[in-house]
A = this chain, B = another copy of it.
Amino acid sequence: MAEVQNGAGAEKLSAVAFTAVKPWVVVDAPKASDAVQFYKTAFGAEELSRVMHPKRKADQEIPLVLSAELKIGSAIVVVSDLIDDDSAPVKSAVTEGVFCLETEEVEPALSQAVNAGATAEGEISEGDSACCGGRVGKVKDPYGNIWLICSPPKKCADVAA
């Protein structure tokens, strides 16, 4: 007879392998196309693919973006229009996502983002976290998300108080 174990008592299962993790930025429709352009201009994003929403309603004049995959550095971020549809993954726009963007060029990156339409928030400061462990500036994008623009973190040994 097979022995069934409860989750809590079970031995550690062999882990499921994940091939990718992509944060998904959902903006109010039909702003996704603008948002993609913004991320290209602000952060040098490269558009890898775009899938449009099939037109389902006669009154839906502007084609909506079901998902656009953007490559920023080595990471992928997905941008979508918020779609009022049972199949939509989420029911409200993502407006308070926080992202850490690492670069050796903090000031030029901040300028580039602000020129593209982001809002600078506060001054450049000295970070002390594992993500933003060097100099860090902050911008808010036009869709309500926060981008921390940081020099790469110091090694842990340098962080000790």
B102 touches A19 (CB 8 A): yes
Indicate whether A60 reaches chain B with its CB closer than 8 angstroms: no
Q: A128 and B96 in contact (CB under 8 A), knowing A74-B20, A101-B21, A109-B18?
A: no
Contact residues on A (Cβ < 8 Å of other chain), bracket = 35 or more
A24 touches B99 (CB 8 A): yes
Closest B residue by C-beta to A107: B16
A148 touches B24 (CB 8 A): yes
Could you tell me the distance in whole angstroms from the C-beta of A152 to the nearest C-beta in chain B? 6
Which chain A residues numbered 63 to 108 have a C-beta less than 8 Å away from chain B?
A: 66-69, 72-75, 77-78, 80, 87, 89-90, 92, 94, 96-105, 108
Chain B residues with Cβ below 8 Å from A7 are 115-116
A22 touches B100 (CB 8 A): yes
Contact of A54 among B20, B51, B89, B161 (CB under 8 A): B161
A77 touches B21 (CB 8 A): yes
Closest B residue by C-beta to A114: B7
Indicate whether A13 reaches chain B with its CB closer than 8 angstroms: yes
Binding site for B on A (CB under 8 A): 7, 13, 15-26, 43-44, 48-51, 54, 66-69, 72-75, 77-78, 80, 87, 89-90, 92, 94, 96-105, 108-109, 112, 115-116, 125, 128-133, 136, 138, 146, 148, 152, 156, 159, 161
**A16-B44, A19-B104 given; 7 more Cβ-contact pairs under 8 Å:** A17-B44, A18-B101, A20-B102, A21-B72, A51-B156, A69-B130, A89-B132
